[in-house]
Amino acid sequence: MPLAVVTGCAGFIGSHLVERLLRSGYTVRGIDRRSPAGGDPEARFNLAGALGHPGFELHVGDLLELDLPPILAGADYILHLAARPGVRGGWGDDFDGYVRDNFLATQRLLRACTGTGVRRLVLASTSAVYGAARPPQRERGPTRPLSPYGVTKLAAEHLVRMYGRQHGLPWTILRYFTVYGPRQRPDMAFRRMLADARAGRPVRVYGDGSQVRDFTYVDDVVAATVLAMRQPQAAGKTLNVAGGSPVSLREALAVLGEVIGRPPRVVHVPPTTGEMPVTRADMTRTRECLGWQPRVGLAEGLSRQWTWLQRRLLQEGLLPDWEEDPESRRLGRAGREDPSSVRTGWEEPGWVGPGWEDGRSVGGGWEEPGAAGTGWGEGEGQEHG
């Protein structure tokens, strides 16, 4: 069986990617700084399905401290999703953390990859590298990041290309556009908004709500990442991964209200420094190289995330009013009494999870609450580990 190494395996996207690879017959070694056994609830829930799989091996530790050569030995593919996300951070004392986690950790991983015979390294990058570039954002167009996050992720891209030129490392870079879906971090926009709306709290909106985002559902990101790992045409390419239907925050909130059955109460707060006004990806190159198209629209994706959030709250025992909540009643009392009955994981054949079996349908953990609490935060689809 082919062997894939996933950095950031306990994170939002990384955990979905791990499960998809396991379902597809890969052996997976995951790297994450957070331990499911170490009291981190996000890591525990995110890896619940993978930890029971005989093909999964978890290595807990920091990319700058782990002994990487034994972990990478024999790897066919390396998927580097570990990063520190968020456009709000990095302006002050946190700047060193962004340089450390996004740049120095990437360099150490690349150095360890040299000479291993890996078939391809895939770097998960971000739309934040485009910054002030005029939409639609094209891979060969200008990159003008507006935040330390965008700057350090762009620097990581340059490192990958340099190792490709100087050391023959095969690579593909994917620029994710605002990823959402089940397992978003608690600080990420849609998860925070859904939780606040359900609890009757006002939903925070950074700015006036006119900012536009090319939202991308996590299953679609998983599919594009797996294709980028394997497709010969993707070698040495930088590719956008986006949902293809940009909408404003105001429009997204209207969709969210339809999903939960009532319009959310909104409170406006000052806009975020470094946030891009519009993201709209040109997907021409991605279609040509991967033959990939996004499948999940915003309404369907938010509906799936809403259902997941309800189940997650049931697992945590945080729905004391479940009898009065029709959605919770539909999910059933059994979900509270037996978390495994509502756990998302590879072992559930009917699960609408990290991807479809026919391939139509991916993290580091260093999840620091509040790191990406932006309006829509171009970094919100990124992981860190």
Q: What number of CA atoms fall less than 13 Å from residue 149's CA on the CB side?
A: 28
Range name among 14-28, 82-96, 104-118, 277-291 with the lowest pLDDT average: 82-96
CA-CA distance, 382 to 363, in Å (whole number)?
7
Single pTM value for the model? 0.84
pLDDT of residue 314: 87
Task: Look at 22-36, 98-112, 127-141, 353-367 and tell me which has the smallest mean pLDDT.
Answer: 353-367
What pLDDT shows up at residue 319?
52
Q: Are 87 and 379 in contact (CB under 8 A)?
A: yes
- Please give the mean pLDDT across all residues of the chain: 85
In this prediction, what percent of the chain has a pLDDT beyond 90?
75
pLDDT confidence of residue 359: 31
Average the pLDDT over 265-277 and give the result.
Answer: 89
Helix or strand or coil: residue 112? Answer: helix
pLDDT tier at 200, thresholds 50, 70, 90 = very high
The residues, any chain, with a CB within 8 Å of residue 67's CB and separated by 6 or more, are: none
Question: Which residues fall within 8 angstroms of residue 50, CB to CB, at 6 or more apart?
Answer: 9, 15, 18, 19, 22, 28, 30, 56, 58, 345, 346
149 flagged as catalytic: yes
257 contact partners, CB below 8 Å, separation of at least 6: 197, 263, 264
- Return phi, psi of residue 156, to 5°: -65, -40
CB atoms within 10 A of CB 192: 17
Between the ranges 10-24, 184-198, 308-322, 369-383, where is the mean pLDDT highest?
10-24
Q: How far apart are CA 329 and CA 322, in angstroms?
A: 6
Report pLDDT digits (tens) over 176-191. Answer: 999 999 999 999 999 9
Considering the candidates 77, 98, 130, 149, report the single residue annotated as catalytic.
149
Q: Please give the residue that has the higher pLDDT: either 70 or 314.
A: 70
**Which domains, from first to last, does the chain contain?**
83-318 (3.40.50.720)
Q: Is the pLDDT score of 340 beyond 50?
A: no
Distance linking the first and last C-alpha atoms of the chain: 25
Per-residue pLDDT band for 318 (boundaries 50, 70, 90) equals: low
Beta strands in the chain (DSSP E): 3-7, 27-32, 56-60, 77-80, 120-126, 171-176, 179-180, 203-206, 212-213, 216-217, 238-241, 247-248, 266-269
Phi, psi of 233 (to 5 degrees): -65, -15
pLDDT in tens, 21-30: 999 999 999 9
- % of the chain surpassing 70 pLDDT: 82
Query: What mean pLDDT is predicted for residues 227-237?
Result: 98
Q: Which of 56, 335, 87 is nearest to 188 (CA)?
A: 87
Rounded distance between C-alpha atoms, residue 271 and residue 275, angstroms = 8
For 54-108, what is each residue's pLDDT tens digit? 999 999 999 999 999 999 999 999 999 999 998 777 788 899 999 999 999 999 9
Residue 315's pLDDT is 82
**252 has pLDDT over 50:** yes
Looking at residue 38, what is its pLDDT?
82
Give the chain's radius of gyration (CA, Å).
19
Dihedral angle of Cα 288, 290, 292, 298, to the nearest 10 degrees: -100
